[in-house]
Structure 1
Amino acid sequence: MSDLPPHDDRASDDAFDDIVDAETDRDPDLAVIEAGSRTLRARSGPPQADAVPARPADPEVDRALRAVEQELAGRWGETKLEPSVARIAALMDVLGEPQKAYPSIHITGTNGKTSTARMVESLLGAFELRTGRYTSPHVQSITERISLDGAPIPAERFVETYEDVKAYVEMVDAAQEYRLSFFEVLTAMAYAAFADAPVDVAVVEVGMGGSWDATNVIDGSVAVVTPISLDHTDRLGNTPAEIAGEKSGIIKQGATVILAQQPVDAAQVMLKKAVEVDATVAREGMEFGVVSREVAVGGQLLTLRGLGGEYEEVFLPLYGAHQAHNAAVALAAVEAFFGIGAEHARPLDVDTVRKAFASVTSPGRLEVVRRSPTVVLDAAHNPAGALVTAAGIQEAFDFSRLIGVVGASDDKDVRGLLEAFEPVFAEIVVTQNSSHRAMDADALAAVAVEVFGDERVVVEPRLDDALEAAITLAEEEAEYAGAGVLVTGSIITVGEARLLLGRG
């Protein structure tokens, strides 16, 4: 058996506490962002081909989408929860149980859920299955959360889906102690859209936890558990084992469990749950894993061991060891979905697997959005994520000097995040995004000065000015021809930077 490298403790891809959906937490007109966008776009070049429109081009569609967003904003946001699936189950009942119209792959864990879901989706699509993917939070547009065939649902269809379920939502609201939340309504919309498409398989990412998460009205034939670490401890528990107990709720009777590398106590909880429901378990490092990886131009070249054999020369256009492990988990999940395992060990078509992984994208995760100088975006929002991002950028980029642009939320371990980045940032530009939960730039600067020293800290409260300042610093350092910029600290900061830099 090949030696498998350890899993990086990547911070949550989803960062529930780092984003309250755009509809409730951001300036709806993004006036601050739009004010400086023309200058930045002129310097950065035209929008890229893979850009996700932040707003629909059609004014009528845009108005309709804004109206839906406003109605959703009147509901509980994603950071306010009443742990129960009673409301979503009632809604599914009156909608005719759309979530039972297709098989599902259900993904929980603390770290890497969204990237893993996108890889699973790409693999299934490469094998000519029609897919629906439900993930959260979004980077720029709410429509990103519901994807069909690898693309965000069109705004028109998003609005139509909301109108289709609205009367039923109001019916359930009237019968329940609490109205359905923002996340519960979106979940119902996703399940209804998937049934209407129809899709061959749904790839569903848990919002938070597992047992009482709104997504947990599906019976996933494959349950995926990405790495578990301490997060949302006020809601899920204070130890990996306690958190695993909650997340194990997605493991259903007779399912196959794809278990990424875990803390020992978390793994024990998951294995116990699997025994209780007669589920089959495949463990990273045992039944599948990363055999080897090497840095390549634009990503990394992998050899993966799946449930059915080895897959060599797999190019993944994403950076960092954590993404290689996400790829191994995604591959095993798709193999399990196709019935490949101990009793039927045969590999998938390797050329199809290579094609699928080569097409994977994961916006806002060590994403290059500009060259000369190179600007990279990463949504790291806590110390664990910052450490992995710092390691990934050092491995993948040969920067002679790195300028950081950091805008964080005020309820995060900002000092820990800055300390993780201190060894790799030559200078840091502190800023703030448009969220009402954004940490004030001056307050962030005070912490940054303690970590970096006064001479390495620049303060620019507006994000567009911060990006300009960082790019100018990189361009003006003539003796550092290979200077780059990393924008990080919050998924909201990253989303708004993407818009400013022409990726939305």
Structure 2
Amino acid sequence: MLETYEKALKWIHGIRRFGKKPGLKRMEWMMDKLDHPEKKVPMIHVAGTNGKGSTVTFIRHLLQEQGLVVGTFTSPFIEVFNERISVNGEPISNEQLLALANAIYPLAEALEKTELGGPSEFEVITAMMFLYFGTGQVDVAVVEVGIGGLLDSTNILTPEVSVITTIGMDHMELLGKTLPEIAAQKAGIIKPGVPVVAGNIPKEALEVIEKIAQNQQSPLYAFQKDYVISKWHTLPTWGEQFTYEDDQIMLQPIQLSMLGRHQTENAAAAIKAVAVFSQKRALLLNHEKMLLGLKQAFWPGRMEKISDSPLIVMDGAHNVPGIQRLIETIKLDFAQQEIVILFAALRNKEYSKMIQMLKKVPHVHLILTSFEHERAVTAEDICQEEDMVFFEVWQEALLAAVKQAGEDSVLLITGSLYFISEVRRTLLK
């Protein structure tokens, strides 16, 4: 028995994150003991290299504006652990989290004694989420994949619609060394006969997804083929505007409060997913409310403006594809301005490649730092980058970055989402 919220968190975080034999058998065992809560509520399943969190939030706002109570499961958290399991954007309470942990705790202990071995940290959190959403708390749940898809612990669900946002090079040690290999893992969420929406995905990866969808007899809706965006431009106030069209819906002008062309792609995939979901559930969509939901959608740490003077922006570009999209946004929206970039990464990412990419951007002053995480990149890791400015303490790096950023400059804080979370909490205080 876990007596307090703090003890529940300590237990959850004390479980090994990875290292368990991959597969869904432990999740199936726990769900069986809980009478299969994952089958008791309609769900939308979202996989992809980047854009999952933003797409989940667009889907959530679209459905919420239609009057539905929407559960979301996301990772990692930005402010508080509880936000990983949220209802209409509100994290569950400490009391609810404690109750869920106490429901899973004896199962985890019993599972430890079987040949399957105890669950991982992510499996425990996933089980808690299924239990919560499956007990009548929500009308629909939008579930983000942890890593990959095929062997991810969320993949025991059969959704109303699956979404694959993007495919890029990340988690190669787990998912494969090529885009087709990674695509095959992500496409593991495609279930027989369940429609799948594909975002802006490279041709060689999309071909893999098309083949798997065909084998599963699952209708596939591809970006700029089965649903199309046009008339895109960046708003002077902050955000994006575009038009969306498919066989059933035309929405214009769509305004997003999130900056970056990639957000129009995430929003379009979300619109298509909601359109498919509503068709299956006989839900009539109010287009005005859809526009309102899209405009209201916000996801912390994604091209998020923290301050106007100086202009401070935070973006969790934590892998090479994320940095590519960040550089696109810089070149489009901040081409005339000096940019000071404060960057920190995890050791298991291609941090040297990301640093080299950022160094090549015109008008950029790059400052590197570290943060409180066992896998954070340190000065020793990048000693070969002799011309780099590096601060071991990010608070000192931030002060140096603010000093360097002039009145017309942009201070961009980017890299690991764990780093973004840590800095954001401090800045918003």
Contact 1:405–1:429 (Cα < 8 Å) also in 2 = yes
Query: What's the offset of the Cα at 1:399?
Result: 6.0
1:331 aligns with 2:275: no
1:347/1:260 Cα in 2 relative to 1: closer, same or farther (>3 Å)?
Answer: farther
For the residues of structure 1 that align with 2:202 and 2:335, how far apart are their CA atoms? Answer: 33
Query: What's the offset of the Cα at 1:168?
Result: 2.3
Aligned to 1:468: 399
For the residues of structure 2 that align with 1:139 and 1:424, how far apart are their CA atoms? Answer: 30
Code of the aligned partner of 2:263: Q
1:308 to 217, 229, 248: 248
1:274 aligns with 2:200: no
**CA-to-aligned-CA distance 1:252-279 (integer Å, 9 cap, x gap):** 1221111123233322222222222221
1:438 aligns with 2:376: yes
Contact 1:300–1:319 (Cα < 8 Å) also in 2 = yes
Code of the aligned partner of 2:29: A
1:492 aligns with 2:407: no
**CA-to-aligned-CA distance 1:77-96 (integer Å, 9 cap, x gap):** 1x434211000000001011
Query: Unaligned 5+ residue runs, structure 2?
Result: none
2:124 to 185, 193, 199: 185
1:239 to 159, 164, 178: 178
Q: Secondary structure at the match of 2:217?
A: coil
Aligned to 1:454: none
Query: What's the offset of the Cα at 1:501?
Result: 0.2
1:198 to 119, 137, 157: 137
Query: What's the offset of the Cα at 1:443?
Result: 4.5
Aligned to 1:501: 427
Q: Secondary structure at the match of 1:304?
A: strand
For the residues of structure 1 that align with 2:5 and 2:317, how far apart are their CA atoms? Answer: 29
Contact 1:306–1:328 (Cα < 8 Å) also in 2 = no
1:299 aligns with 2:299: no
For the residues of structure 2 that align with 1:264 and 1:69, how far apart are their CA atoms? Answer: 42
For the residues of structure 1 that align with 2:351 and 2:171, how far apart are their CA atoms? Answer: 16
1:366 aligns with 2:303: yes
Aligned to 1:88: 27
1:273/1:428 Cα in 2 relative to 1: closer, same or farther (>3 Å)?
Answer: closer
1:378 aligns with 2:329: no
Query: What's the offset of the Cα at 1:300?
Result: 0.9
1:386/1:448 Cα in 2 relative to 1: closer, same or farther (>3 Å)?
Answer: farther
Query: What's the offset of the Cα at 1:106?
Result: 0.7
2:409 to 463, 474, 483: 483
Identity %: 30
Matches within 5 A, 1:54-73: 64-73=4-13
Contact 2:197–2:221 (Cα < 8 Å) also in 1 = yes
For the residues of structure 2 that align with 1:216 and 1:177, how far apart are their CA atoms? Answer: 18
For the residues of structure 1 that align with 2:213 and 2:103, how far apart are their CA atoms? Answer: 37
Aligned to 1:257: 196
Contact 1:237–1:243 (Cα < 8 Å) also in 2 = yes
Code of the aligned partner of 1:467: L
Code of the aligned partner of 1:311: L
Aligned to 2:41: 102
2:364 to 414, 419, 426: 426
Contact 2:111–2:117 (Cα < 8 Å) also in 1 = no
For the residues of structure 2 that align with 1:406 and 1:239, how far apart are their CA atoms? Answer: 26
Q: Secondary structure at the match of 1:175?
A: coil
1:314/1:157 Cα in 2 relative to 1: closer, same or farther (>3 Å)?
Answer: same
1:228 aligns with 2:167: yes
Count of aligned residue pairs for this structure pair: 426
Bigger relative contact order (CA 8 A; separation at least 6): 1
For the residues of structure 1 that align with 2:173 and 2:394, how far apart are their CA atoms? Answer: 31
Contact 1:306–1:335 (Cα < 8 Å) also in 2 = no
Query: What's the offset of the Cα at 1:437?
Result: 1.2
For the residues of structure 2 that align with 1:239 and 1:443, how far apart are their CA atoms? Answer: 25
CA RMSD of aligned residues (A): 2.3
Contact 2:302–2:315 (Cα < 8 Å) also in 1 = yes
1:175 aligns with 2:114: yes
1:459/1:260 Cα in 2 relative to 1: closer, same or farther (>3 Å)?
Answer: closer
**CA-to-aligned-CA distance 1:222-276 (integer Å, 9 cap, x gap):** 0111121222222222222222222222111221111123233322222222222
1:318 aligns with 2:250: no
For the residues of structure 1 that align with 2:336 and 2:105, how far apart are their CA atoms? Answer: 51
For the residues of structure 1 that align with 2:51 and 2:100, how far apart are their CA atoms? Answer: 28
Code of the aligned partner of 1:491: L
For the residues of structure 2 that align with 1:442 and 1:86, how far apart are their CA atoms? Answer: 40
Code of the aligned partner of 2:426: L
Code of the aligned partner of 2:16: W
TM-score normalised by structure 2 residue count: 0.93
Query: What's the offset of the Cα at 1:309?
Result: 2.3
